[in-house]
Amino acid sequence: MASPLKQFEIETLIPFEFAGLNLDFTNSSLWMMIAAIVGVGFFLLTTDNNNMIPTRAQAASEKFYNLVKNMILENTGAKGIEYFPLIFTTFLIVLMGNVLGLIPHSFTYTSHIFVTGVLALFLFTLITIIGLVRHGFHFLSIFNPPGVPIVLKPLIIPIEVISYFIRPVTLSVRLFANMMAGHLVLKVFAGFSVAMGIGLGIVPAFFNVLLYALEALVAVLQAYVFAILTCIYFKDAVELHH
């Protein structure tokens, strides 16, 4: 029986090296490409003909659009709507990685800390740059919350600095850990079903169906959480209230 960890192994499909750099096309690369094609293709096909009475597919794409739009307005404000394309794309990248990873024999690229870490670090860096460009060094006032007594500032400011710079870590680890743990549990219960045979194997198989439904919910929920936290972080760069 294959190890439950085997599903997370990076496999080279097309070896490629340039200037001493390993640029192999891997199973992770393949499923990132599939995610991009499926995600972009879905919205191109469903928004090509904007009917007055939308089809079910068009209504679904509009729900996704409104979900992210309302998420930005509620957490970032009207000024944050200019970053809609970036946040929507981020949501789609994570959602496709999570959902497509539920297909048997697929690869969940969001279960790798390197992928989620690079995505989180990119967003963190971009948000910090936007904040500095929009507000200059006044952006650093986010580390000095208003209303804090002077005697507590030496304690509060370092805590604010640490909490700010740890954002990409918590953002990436939350997504990676949830996806990896869920897939491990599914694989373990599937192994129990095989090992226990046709008769007794139906018990872990039943629980595996329930876990699969739960993992599908987690896949969507984690994409939503990743996007909404991105919106909250963008609020600091867009609006300073002190």
How far is residue 77 CA from its own chain's centroid?
21
More confident residue, 108 or 46: 108
Helix (H) or strand (E) holding 25: strand 25-26
Judge whether 222 and 102 are in contact, CB under 8 Å.
no
pLDDT value of residue 51: 66
- Give residue 210's domain range: 4-238
Whether pLDDT at 94 is above 90: yes
The pLDDT tens digits for 101-156 are 999 889 999 999 999 999 999 999 999 999 999 888 888 888 888 888 888 888 98
Average pLDDT of every residue of the chain: 87
pLDDT value of residue 205: 74
Average confidence (pLDDT) over 164-180 = 94
Which percentage of the chain shows pLDDT scores above 90?
A: 49
- Under the banding of pLDDT at 50, 70 and 90, the label for residue 71 is very high
pLDDT value of residue 86: 94
The CB density around residue 144, as the number of other CB atoms within 10 Å, is: 13
Whether the model pTM is above 0.85:
yes
pLDDT value of residue 1: 57
What number of H helices and E strands is found in the chain? 7, 4
Tell me how many domains the chain contains. Answer: 1
Residue identified by tokens 């096909």 is 45
- Under the banding of pLDDT at 50, 70 and 90, the label for residue 166 is very high
Whether pLDDT at 6 is above 80: yes
- Per-residue burial over 9-44, b if 16 or more Cβ lie within 10 Å, else e, is eeeeeeeeeeeeeeeeebebbbbbebbeeebeebbe
Output the six-digit token pair for 125: 């860096």
Q: What is the spatial distance between Cα 125 and Cα 152, in angstroms, rounded to a whole number?
A: 29
pLDDT value of residue 116: 95
The pLDDT tens digits for 177-222 are 999 998 888 888 777 676 666 666 677 777 778 888 999 999 999 9
